[in-house]
Amino acid sequence: MITVLAGGVGAARLLRGMIRAVPAHEVTAIVNTADDLVLHGLSISPDLDTVTYTLAEAVNPETGWGLVGETWQAMDALEQLGGAAWFRLGDRDLGTHLHRTGRLADGAGLTEVTAEITRAFGIDARLLPMTEDRVATMVTLSSDGVPADGATEMEIGFQDYFVGLRHDVAISGVRFDGIDAARPAPGVLDAITSADTVVVAPSNPIVSIGPVVAVPGIGKALADRRDNVVAVSPIVAGSALKGPAERMLRELGHEPTVVGVARLYRDFASTLVVDSADGELVDGVEAEGMRCLVTPTVMTDVGVATDLCRTLLSLDRPVGSPAGRPR
């Protein structure tokens, strides 16, 4: 059994390889929900949906999120009404949000609703939200980004930062509102405890993996399994393949390299997998107390993703296995 801590696009691509490396029903993903939002009354879970659509081979390959062949009638109509259309919801994608919102209103839990959605999409892997409680990532804009109205700082919701401002502003802080009261969703702790290997997907360490680990109980469960926790660095050659991970690390005082990632993960992961481009930083990672494996991690296609997953899962094999030797 393999358990993957997951954010959005990077995690989805890793999981797409994972269900080829091992039988899909042996794979559980614990997915970040701190990006979730209620918009126009609809409950939207961006990371759950990105993983779902990707595993169903239904994702838009251009963006890495949303559905392929999507139409935009509802958004066009909303824009003509002057409504807030900055968060783009495709027509078929809206079907997912309508279903989720309706079922939650019926009293179903997000775990149950997620299972319904993944089943309908023909997905054999198990997707679990990290929690069924509301957690909301809040981003503090640094003083540079704040309007000169006397306020010394301004805190906004994650999607306002990520989508609304296209993460094109400097930030000075991130917090997860509600995290102290959040409980791991049903099945989450067991998925960590009982996994042969826990994989931390190459997602944003601050706002994707960060909230998952911060849910009370999850961080401890991971630390208890540290020897079996393998993380894949989302930073390659000092930059993020997608999204603001590099910039966020830097602005929040972390080193925007695999060494900085190692410092964030070393308490609960024993191995960091870094891309071949970062081979020279292996000593730096090991100095943080983590094993370091160098292998191609840039998932340009599903074949690379599958190979990466096979390599991850062979880490505990005897030295000299074809999967590569941890240094």
As a whole number of angstroms, the distance between CA 171 and CA 139 comes to 7
Nearest to a second copy of 68, 252 (CB atom) = 68
Residue corresponding to tokens 């999967």: 323
Residue 273: phi, psi to the nearest 5? Answer: -95, 125
User: Nearest approach, Cβ of 113 to a second copy (angstroms)?
Assistant: 9
Minimum distance of a second copy from residue 61's CB (angstroms): 19
Which CB atom, from 93 or from 278, has the smaller least distance to a second copy?
Answer: 93
Considering the complex, state which of residue 79 and residue 153 has its C-beta at the smaller distance from a second copy. Answer: 79
**Ordered DSSP codes for 300-321:** SSHHHHHHHHHHHHTTTSPTT-
Structure tokens at 184: 């791991």
Q: Which is nearer to a second copy, 26 or 72 (CB)?
A: 72
Which CB, 96 or 137, lies closer to a second copy?
96
Q: How far is the CB of 84 from a second copy (least distance, A)?
A: 6
Query: Which positions touch a second copy (CB under 8 A)?
Result: 38-43, 71, 73-84, 89-99, 101-103, 105, 116-117, 120
The identity of residue 295, as a single letter, is T
Q: Strand 271-274 to strand 291-294: parallel, antiparallel, or no bridges (unpaired)?
A: parallel
Minimum CB distance to a second copy, residue 271 (Å)? 38
Q: How many CB atoms lie within 10 A of CB 293?
A: 23
Shorter beta-carbon distance to a second copy: residue 73 or 321? 73
Shortest separation between residue 223's beta carbon and a second copy, angstroms: 37
Q: How far is the CB of 104 from a second copy (least distance, A)?
A: 8
Contact 272, 286 (CB under 8 A): no
> Strand 229-232's sheet: what is its strand order?
126-129, 27-31, 2-6, 197-200, 229-232, 271-274, 291-294
Nearest Cα residue to 28 out of 132, 104, 118: 118
